[in-house]
Amino acid sequence: MKKNKCKEDMAISQVYYPVQITRLEDIICDHEELFSLPCIVVVSEGVALCPVNDKEFKLSRGSVLLLDNAKSFLITVESKLRGIVIQYRTYGHEKPSILHHVKPILNCSYRIINLALELQKASRNTSIGNPFHFQRMFVELLEALYNELDNRKKHDDLWIEKVLDYIDLYFHEELTRDQVAEIAQVSPEHFSRTFHKHTGYTFSAYLTLLRIRKSQQRLLQHMPKLDLLAQEVGYSEGTYFSRKFKQLIGVSPTAYYKKEKRIVALNTNHTACLIALGITPELGVYSPWLESVRQVSPVHKLKGYEHDIASNYQEITAACPDVIINYSGSMEKQFLLSLAPVFELSCRQLSWREQFGLIANIVDRKEVYKSWLQQYDEQIALCNHILDQQHGTRGTAIVWEIGSHTAYCLNSSHGRGSHILYEDLGFSRPDAIITQNIEQTGYLTVDIEEIVHFPADYIFITALPTKDFGKERLLTVLHSEKWQSLMAVQKKQVYFINQYELFYGYDPLSTASQLQKLMEVLTS
Indicate the pLDDT class of residue 491, thresholds 50, 70 and 90.
Answer: very high
Beta strand 15-23 with 82-91 is antiparallel
Q: Read off the pLDDT of residues 149-170 as tens digits, 9 standing for 90 and up.
A: 887 766 545 788 888 889 989 9
The torsion angle over the Cα atoms of residues 210, 215, 219 and 225, rounded to 10 degrees, is: -170
Indicate the pLDDT class of residue 316, thresholds 50, 70 and 90.
Answer: confident
Indicate the pLDDT class of residue 304, thresholds 50, 70 and 90.
Answer: low
Burial 43-69 (b: 16+ CB within 10 A, else e): bbebbbebbbeeeebbbbbbbbbbbbe
Query: Which of 13-22, 28-37, 274-283, 337-346 is the least confident region?
Result: 28-37
Identify which of 221, 467, 422, 506 has the alpha carbon closest to the alpha carbon of residue 341. 221
| Average pLDDT, rounded, for the chain | 86
Is 78 within 8 Å of 46 (Cβ atoms)?
no
**Residue 111: pLDDT over 60:** yes
User: How much is the pLDDT for 3?
Assistant: 45
Q: Read off the pLDDT of residues 409-449 as tens digits, 9 standing for 90 and up.
A: 988 888 899 999 999 999 999 999 988 888 777 888 899 99
3-state secondary structure string, 62-79?
CCEEEECCHHHCCCCCCC
Q: What is the mean pLDDT of residues 256-267?
A: 91
Between 96 and 235, name the one with better pLDDT.
235
* 23 strand-pairing partners: 84
3-state secondary structure string, 24-56?
HHHHHHCHHHCCCCCEEEEEEECEEEEEECCEE
Helix axis angle for 352-362 and 508-523, nearest 10°, is: 150
Distance CA 178, CA 90 (A): 50
Beta-sheet strand order (sheet of 342-345): 301-303, 283-286, 263-265, 323-327, 342-345
Identify which of 34, 30, 28, 26 has the alpha carbon closest to the alpha carbon of residue 69. 34
Q: What is the mean pLDDT of residues 87-113?
A: 75
Query: Which of 242-251, 323-332, 409-418 is the least confident region?
Result: 323-332
Indicate the pLDDT class of residue 408, thresholds 50, 70 and 90.
Answer: very high
Distance CA 134, CA 126 (A): 11
Query: Which of 192-196, 352-356, 440-444 is the least confident region?
Result: 440-444
User: How much is the pLDDT for 12?
Assistant: 47
Rounded to two decimals, what is the model's pTM? 0.68
Helix axis angle for 203-219 and 238-249, nearest 10°, is: 100
User: How much is the pLDDT for 10?
Assistant: 40
**Residue 510: pLDDT over 70:** yes
Q: Which amino acid is at 260?
A: E
